[in-house]
Amino acid sequence: MISLELRMAGNINKYHPMGCLVGLFVALLVCPYVCTACTSCPQNCTCVPMTLPERCTCPEYGIIPVHILQYIVHLELNYSQPVVLRAAAAIQKFQQLKHLKISGMQSVKSGGFKGLETLHKLVLYDNFMRVLETYMFSSLHNLTNLTLEGTAKNKIHALENGTFSGLKNLKYLSLKGNVITEIFKESFLDLDHLYVLDLSSNRLTQIKADTFIHAPLLTKINMSKNLITEIHRYAFNGLKSLVTLDLEGNRIKGMPQPVFSPGSLRGSDVQHKNIHLDNNLLRCDCHLNWISSWLDRGKICEGRCRTPSKLFNLTLEHVYKDGLPQCQPNNTIWSVEQGQQLKLTCPFAGASWVTPDGRSLQEHGDCEDAFCLTNSDSLVVWKTTPELSGNYTCRSSDGTQAFVYPVHVKALTVAMIAGIVAGGFVLMVIIIVAGCKLRKNDNIRLNSTSGNPPRGNSHQGNPSAEHDTCVDGDDRDRLLQEVMDRVSSAKLARAVKYESIIFQKDSLSDIKNINIFNSKST
C-alpha cells in the first residue's frame, strides 16, 4: 500500500469529463487495481460513473482513470514497503509532472525517471538507498531542485562518480543528514549551474583539491557538522562566485588560505566572502595569519580559538585584526633521553611527516618501525635512540608550508648504565626476599591443611634442613597424593569447590590448579 497526494493541472477544459477535479488536492490510498470500467472496481469500492461509461473514479482506493494522469503536476508517493523504480514504470505516464516527492524506495534502476522530462523538483526522503548510482538522474534534464536528505532510519552512505550526470540545469542540491564520508570531483560532474550545495550533518573528514571544480557557479556550500580535519589549499579552486562557506561544527585545527581561482586572491574573486568556523578546534598561531589580510579586505571569518590557552575562546577577529600570533621558532631543539617516548605536534591540519632518515608518513594511523602518525597530526616516536636524532619535518596538506623540529636523543652514559644496573639489582633482591617469605608461609599453610606439624619440626636435629624452604620431588608427590586423598572426603568436598596449590622447587614457583569436586560432580 502507498499513500498518494496529487494536484491536477489548472488548464483542463471545464467541460472536460474530469474538469470538476481541477484545483482539488486529494489524499488517497493506492491499490494495485487499474480502473477501466465500473465493473472492475474492487469490492467495497463505489465507482463514480463519469460521462464516458467505460471510465470511473474510485477515490477511496486511489483509482483514477489513466487519461487524467497527464494533467497531474504535483505527486507525493509514500511507500510503506521498499520498492524498486524501474524503467517503463507507470510513473512515466505523468506527462506534466513538475514536483515529485517519494519515500520508501529501495533503488532506482537505469531509466527509472525516464519520461519525467518536465520535472522541476524532486524530493527523495526516508528511502532505503545507501548508494546513489551513476547516471541515476540522467534523464531529468530540466530538474532545478534535488533534495536527498537522510532520516534517523535511512541514510545515504556514498556517491558514485557521475551520480548527478545530466542535471545541467540543477540549481539546488541537498544531501543533508546522511553518512557520506568522502566526496570526489567526479561526483559533481555536469553541475554547471549549481548555486547551493548542502552537505551538512554528514561524516566528511577531508576536502581534497578541486573537489568542486565541476560546479563553478556555486555561491554557497554548507559542510557544517561533519568530521572535517583536513582542507586542501585548492579545495575550492574555480569557485569565483562563492559567497558563503559554512564549516561550523567540525574538527578543524587550521586551514591554509583558500584559493578560489588560479593566481592571487586579488580582485572580484575575494569580494563578499564569508567563512564560518565556529565550534572547531582552531589553533590560533602564525599558520592562520592569512585571516588578518582577509579581514582587512572586509570579508568575514567567524570562529573562536581553542588553543593556545592564552587565546582560548577569543574570536578570530579579535586575535587577527590587530596582531599576528607567532609560532614556535624552528631553531628550538627538542632534547630527550634515550629510551623515552617522544611526541611532536604539527601546527598544520592534515599534515604529513618526514623523519631524519627520509621516511614519509602521510595517512593517519600510518606506523613504521618506531614511528606512528596519530589522528591529531602528531608524530609519536615510541622508543628513542641516538640514531633517531635529526630534523623531523611536518608539511601542510598542500605542500606549501613546512615546520622543522630538531631533535637530539641523549645517549646513555656509563654513570646512567651503572645506576640502572644498581637499581635493577636492588629490585631483584627485594623480589627474592619477598618470594622466600611467601614460600615459607605457603609451606606452613600446606602442612596445616594436610594435618602434619609445621615443616620446621620435621627437621629437628638436622641443621641443614632448617634453611630448606623448597619442596623436593618426593615431598611434592606425597603432598599431592595427600591432597587428592582428601578430595574424596565428603567433608572437604562440601567445604571447598576448588583450590590453587603452589609447589616450590629450586627457588622457582611451579603453580598448578587442582579442581576439587565431590564424587558426583562431572
Q: Which CATH number, 3.40.50.10800, 2.60.40.10, 3.40.50.10860, 1.10.10.10, labels domain 337-412?
A: 2.60.40.10
Q: In sequence order, which residues have a C-beta less than 8 Å from that of residue 170 and are 6 or more positions away?
A: 143, 144, 145, 146, 164, 191, 193, 194
Residue 284, CB half-sphere, CA atoms under 13 Å: how many?
Answer: 27
Residue type, 64: I
d(CA 204, CA 280): 14
Q: Could you write out the DSSP letters of every residue in 128-179?
A: --SEEPTTTTTT-TT--EEE----SS----EE-TTTTTT-TT--EEE-TTS-
User: CA 358, 359, 361: angle at the middle one, nearest 5?
Assistant: 135
What's the grid cell of residue 461? Answer: 636435629
Starting at the edge strand that comes first in sequence, how are the strands of the sheet with 196-198 ordered? 25-30, 2-8, 72-85, 99-108, 121-124, 145-147, 172-174, 196-198, 220-222, 244-246, 274-276, 300-302
Contacts of the segment 64-70: beta carbons below 8 A, 24+ positions apart: 64/35, 65/18, 65/35, 66/34, 66/36, 66/93, 67/18, 68/8, 68/18, 68/21, 69/93, 69/94, 69/95, 70/94, 70/95, 70/96
d(CA 283, CA 277): 12
- Identify the DSSP state of 315: B
Neighbours of 9 (CB within 10 A): 17
d(CA 338, CA 21): 87
The separation between CA 190 and the C-alpha centre of its own chain, rounded to angstroms, equals 28
Query: Which ranges constitute the DSSP H helices of 308-413?
Result: 316-320
pLDDT at res. 489: 54
Residue type, 289: N
Phi, psi of 418, rounded to the nearest 5 degrees: -60, -40
Note the maximum CA span of the chain.
131
pLDDT at res. 453: 53
d(CA 496, CA 147): 70
Strand ranges inside 281-415, DSSP E: 300-302, 334-337, 342-345, 352-354, 360-361, 367-368, 371-373, 378-381, 390-395, 402-410
d(CA 394, CA 353): 4
Return the H-helix or E-strand segment holding 3.
strand 2-8
Neighbours of 501 (CB within 10 A): 17
Return the H-helix or E-strand segment holding 5.
strand 2-8
What's the alpha-carbon Rg for the chain, to the nearest Å? 39
Predicted structure pTM score: 0.60
What's the grid cell of residue 227? Answer: 568530521
My answer on whether omega of the bond before 308 falls inside 30° of 0, hence cis, is yes
Mean pLDDT for back-to-back runs of 10 residues, the chain (522 residues)? 50 35 31 40 50 44 61 80 73 81 84 86 89 88 94 88 93 96 93 97 94 95 95 89 94 84 45 85 83 81 89 89 65 77 78 84 78 80 85 77 82 66 74 74 62 49 45 56 56 41 38 39 40
Closest listed residue to residue 168, CA positions, set 197, 147, 141: 141
Neighbours of 513 (CB within 10 A): 8
**Burial class of residue 87 in the structure, from the number of CB atoms within 10 Å of its CB (0-12 exposed, 13-18 middle, 19+ buried):** middle
Neighbours of 98 (CB within 10 A): 17
- Residue extents of the structural domains in the chain: 1-85+94-103, 337-412, 422-515
Closest listed residue to residue 215, CA positions, set 154, 173, 276, 265: 173
d(CA 197, CA 195): 7
User: What are 220's strand-pairing partners?
Assistant: 196, 244
Neighbours of 214 (CB within 10 A): 18
- Identify the DSSP state of 304: B
